[in-house]
Structure 1
């Protein structure tokens, strides 16, 4: 959808308004002097006094003009130039201004920098994500096309055996299932980026969900498990369901959840006793499509979906160092 456009019409620039006001202020004493000289027959005001008054007025007006230009028009024009440069793809322009002038302009500039940084990061994420998606979809499509071409080119002189034909058909079916799974995970990721309407949940709700989904798990909860967090149960199901699935796939049999409240945030430690994450993979686990179980059909999108869902509700997830075996995630969500 195209961005809304400002209705085109003539509008005076800020500098024109500022300098018009200053000229009006400077014109007042001049008009006053002319008025008194025309109405005062005694001529009590001397020419030197009048000239001194005009010089003072001029100096004061120039000083006020400098202050307004440095503190208002200058920073605003700099912000306009920065926004134009960022719109053309200049990430280097996302830098603080040399001078902000007023508190309001400084606040506006900080909001602008935050928004510009998020937009540029989002643009880079979309480009990287599109490259990953195209790569992930290309492999099964290439396999399907190759198997289909071999089946098409089968002739009567050197016909395929039944086993060969069955193998190619099974490859097509397996790759089609992988495409379906990838598309389903992409839909989940898109859903995670759209915040679910506000709601609440508690650790007890999460434990009940995990126990129902993974009945073989031993689940233990400790801490302030009754405190409700600003995370709808549907969103919590997506986040902790993906964490539980990863734990199950890595051989875990027990999950420990510890809840603590700090200020207006709830810290949740999610710990399993599975195989853990190797040091070489710790920096990559949140990358889209990174998976150590690709041979078993893993898509590598579960943790990315969980992180995106948490971010859309003002939370975050971090992988912590596990002192023993297993994996520990630190999850922070707003207090309900």
Structure 2
């Protein structure tokens, strides 16, 4: 009796095994010759939004997971000290402008004195030539002329210094105004806030990152392929990506990078078989316009599989035909508006 039931059990197990294998073959059809695959994960370029100057963080206006657009305000620094410097620089500018006015008036007076001394010297020189003025009087007129000329040159120098003072004060204002502007941190590009690194009220050093931004227009999968496959790939070649959380979709991509050097190698690389084990990093990038349609769904760190064609002229198999979800309503309406 036990043997009879054991036979039925073995038959049932075999049938279940055949069914599972058939299902697996149906859902995981084999790749045709000329298609290579490799495991990878979705990544995006990271941008650190950092403060240019040391100081206290007044506000952080973005939270982790927020979608932000280029130019959107991310954080603000406390600007009280900087605004005080700006007021001081503006006061110095007013003082320099006042000094410039005084120097200009003094220069006009010295120029008049020089003209008068020149005319007096010319008149006494004519009288001296006709014998109606003494040499002593002529020497005195020449000395007055020299003094007037020296006073005029000094007034010019004072005016140049006052003008330089205006330029210096204006440069200080420009620098401090730039510091005020830089105290408002904006997103350099559109993306998603990945990490909020600093809280309001914290005092930070110059160059401290406030948030980490993921650039959702530059999403890619990094895979590693053997030399025989990576060696035939060209920049711009078509690729496909399937991510583990959504295996029903096939995402189109392009080869945008192939490493020149192997990323990891066997201990010895002497024979052809050993050279075949060399693995090269390949970057499969998704079209930014495509990403914009599913911006709210794009996530990094997701595992999946990347596929590339390593033979020219072959078609993508049916299971790797592009298949995408419906775009979000917001993205679809925004793209329709453009």
Q: TM-score range by the shorter chain?
A: under 0.3
Bigger strand share:
2
Q: Which protein has the larger Cα radius of gyration, Structure 1 or Structure 2?
A: 2
Query: What is the TM-score with the length of structure 2 in the denominator?
Result: 0.24
Bigger helix share:
1
